[in-house]
Amino acid sequence: MEIRVQRAPLIEADIEVPGDKSISHRSAMFAALSDGACRLRNYLPGEDCLGTLRVLRQLGVTIESLSPSEHVVHGLRGRFSEPQGDLDCGNSGTTMRLMSGLLAAQPFRCRLTGDASLSRRPMRRIMEPLQQMGAVFEAEGEGGCPPLVIRGTAGLRPLAYRLPVPSAQVKSAILLAGLFADGVTTVDQPVPTRDHTERLLEYFGVPVTREGTSVSVRGGTLPRARDVDVPGDVSSAAFWLVAAATQPGSSVRVRNLGLNPTRTGILAVLLRMGAKLREEEETKGPGEPCGRIEIVGRSLRGTEIGGAEIPNVIDELPVLAVAGALAGGTTVIKDAAELRVKESDRLAVVARHLAAMGADVTEHPDGLEIRGGRPLHGARLESHGDHRIAMAFAIAGLFADGETVIEDASCVETSYPGFAGQLERIAHGRR
C-alpha cells in the first residue's frame, strides 16, 4: 500500500485518535495476570496490540474479542501455560520486552520471534537484568537480537537495578518480573520515562512505591481484575498536532486523549516553537489523566530538544523534525541516539527523507540539526517498514509542492489503523 499526499493549505479538524498503544499492551498483560474477567474498551486495534493478545492466547489466556477495540480478558492469576510453537511478537518491541519480564517467572521454555525490524532490535538491555533475577535467556540473533529463548523459573530473585538507558520497556520488564520475585525489586531511572506500568499496576491494585528516581514493587501481589477504558494515544495525535501547529489559520481539536505528563512533552515543544494550545483535563482514565486539547497554528520558530525531555518525546521526534523543517530558524535534536534502535534507524531515515524533500538538515550521531523554513517539495519516500516514519512524512507531504508518495505504508497499521483515511478526510476538509 502507498499513501499519496498533496499540499493542504489549511487544516481544521475535531477528532479522536485510537487508543494508546503503551496502555493497551499493559492493560492486556495485567488483565491476563489478574484474578478474573477484565473488559478492555478502546483497546488499540493496531497490529502491535492485537499481537499481544495473540501471544497471551498462546499462553492459555482466554480472550473474548467483542470487536477489534473491545476485549474481555480472563486472568489466569499469574500462571500461564507452556505455549505450542513460537510466540510471534511481530513488529512490537513492547510485546517482546514486557512479555519477557512476565515469562522470566513462568517455569517453562518459550521462544519469542519477531519480524525483520524487531529481529534487529537490542534485547540485552532486558536479558541482563532478568538473568540477574534468575531466568535463563539466549538470544539467537547476532549481538543480542531476537529470536529470544527464555527458560523461566518460579523462584525469581528480587533486583535493585539502575537503568543504563532511559527505557520504559526495560523498567517495565523488570517490574513485571519483580511481581513474582521473593522480596522488593527496585528500578532506579536517572532520567524519567513513561510511567504507565506504575499507574496501571496501582489501578489493578498492586502497590508501587516511588521514591525520588526509584520505583519499587514487592513480589507476591498480583493484579486484581479491573475494566480499563484506554484513552487516545498522544503519539498518534502528534501527527495532527504538528499538521495544525505549523500553519497560521489551522486548528485541530483532539478529544478523549491521554494526557499523562510523561507523554505530553510534544505539547511543551510545540508551545516553545510558538504554537497556541489549550488543554482541558476532563476525566480520569485508568489512573491516567485524559482530556481534550486544541492547538492553533502560528508561524513556528526552531527550538532545541534534548536531555531529560527526550524519553518524553521519543516516539514524536520524527514528526517534530518535520515541524522543525517547517519552522523558521534552527531546530536541534540531541541526546537521541536511541532513535537509531527503533523500528528503523530514525535519525538516518528522517535526515535522508527531509533532505529528499528539500530541507536543510545535518545528521549527528545522537541527533539532527534542521535549518528550517526552506520550501519542501514532494518525493517518493520509503517507510522502511516504520509506522512513525510513514506517518511523519505523510504529514510533511501536506506542506510540500507536488505529490509525496509514501511507499510500503501498510506499516501504519502497527499503531494507527485508519490513519490513511483520516488523513484524506482532514486534507479534503481543507478550506
Binding flag, residue 117, ligand S3P (CB under 6 A)? no
Q: Segment 189-218, which members bind ligand S3P (CB under 6 A)?
A: 194
Q: What is the 3-state secondary structure (H, E, C) of the chain?
A: CCEEECCCCCCEEEEECCECHHHHHHHHHHHHHCCCEEEEECCCCCHHHHHHHHHHHHCCCEEEEEECCEEEEECCCCCCCCCCCCEECCCCHHHHHHHHHHHCCCCCEEEEECCCCHHHCCCHHHHHHHHHCCCEEEECCCCCCCCEEEECCCCCCCCEEECCCCCHHHHHHHHHHHCCCCCEEEEECCCCCCCHHHHHHHHCCCCCEEECCEEEEECCCCCCCCCEECCECHHHHHHHHHHHHCCCCCEEEEEEEECCCCCCHHHHHHHHCCCEEEEEEEEECCCCEEEEEEEECCCCECCEECHHHHHHHHHHHHHHHHHHHHCECEEEECCCHHHHHCCCCHHHHHHHHHHHCCCEEEEECCEEEEECCCCEECCEEECCCCHHHHHHHHHHHCCEECCEEEECHHHHHHCCCCHHHHHHHHHHCCC
**In the block, which residue shows the cell 513556528?**
300
Q: How far apart are CA 40 and CA 43, in angstroms?
A: 6
Told to judge if 315 belongs to the known catalytic residues of this protein, a careful annotator would answer: yes
Binding mask 294-333 for ligand S3P (x = CB under 6 A): --------------------xx------------------
Angle between helix 21-33 and 196-203 (nearest 10): 40
Q: Which of 88, 315, 366, 401 is catalytic?
A: 315
- In the complex with ligand S3P, which residue's Cβ is closer, 125 or 292? 125
Q: In what order do the strands lie in the sheet with 87-88?
A: 87-88, 109-113, 148-151, 136-139
Closer residue to ligand S3P, CB minimum distance, 93 or 274? 93
Q: Count the site residues for ligand S3P by CB under 6 A.
A: 10
Tell me which of 22, 42, 113, 246 binds ligand S3P, using CB under 6 A: 22
| Complex with ligand S3P: residue 126 or 427, whichever CB lies closer | 126
Report in angstroms how near the CB of residue 338 gets to ligand S3P at its nearest.
6
Of the two residues 168 and 406, which places its CB atom closer to ligand S3P in the complex?
168
Our finding on whether 233 is near ligand S3P (CB under 6 A) is no
**Taking every pair of C-alpha atoms in the chain, what is the biggest distance, in angstroms?**
63
What is the smallest separation between the CB atom of 146 and ligand S3P, expressed in angstroms?
14
The span from the CA of 234 to the CA of 265, in Å, is: 10
- Which listed range, 167-175, 279-287, 361-369, 374-382, lies at the site for ligand S3P (CB under 6 A)? 167-175
Minimum gap (Å) between residue 194 Cβ and ligand S3P = 6
Query: Which part of the chain contacts ligand S3P (CB under 6 A), choosing from 163-171, 209-217, 370-378, 391-399?
Result: 163-171
Q: Of 194 and 384, which CB lies nearer to ligand S3P in the complex structure?
A: 194
Least separation in angstroms between residue 418's CB and ligand S3P is 19
297 vs 318, beta carbon nearer ligand S3P: 318
Binding mask 87-106 for ligand S3P (x = CB under 6 A): -------x------------
What is the footprint of ligand S3P within residues 327-366 (CB under 6 A)? 338
Which residue, 94 or 422, has its beta carbon nearer to ligand S3P?
A: 94
Nearest of 55, 36, 52 to residue 44 by alpha carbon: 52
Per CB under 6 A, the segment of 79-87, 165-173, 283-291, 329-337 that binds ligand S3P is 165-173
> Minimum CB separation from ligand S3P for residue 117, in Å?
13
In terms of CB distance, is 24 or 251 closer to ligand S3P? Answer: 24
Name the one range near ligand S3P by CB under 6 A: 135-143, 166-174, 215-223, 236-244: 166-174
Q: Does 167 bind ligand S3P (CB under 6 A)?
A: yes
Region binding ligand S3P by CB under 6 A among candidate stretches 50-58, 168-176, 181-189, 358-366:
168-176
Among 27, 58, 169, 250, binds ligand S3P (CB under 6 A): 169
Q: How far is the CB of 46 from ligand S3P (least distance, A)?
A: 11
What residues are paired with 281 via a beta bridge?
291
Hey, which residues are catalytic here? 315
Binding site for ligand S3P (CB under 6 A): 22, 94, 167-169, 172, 194, 314-315, 338
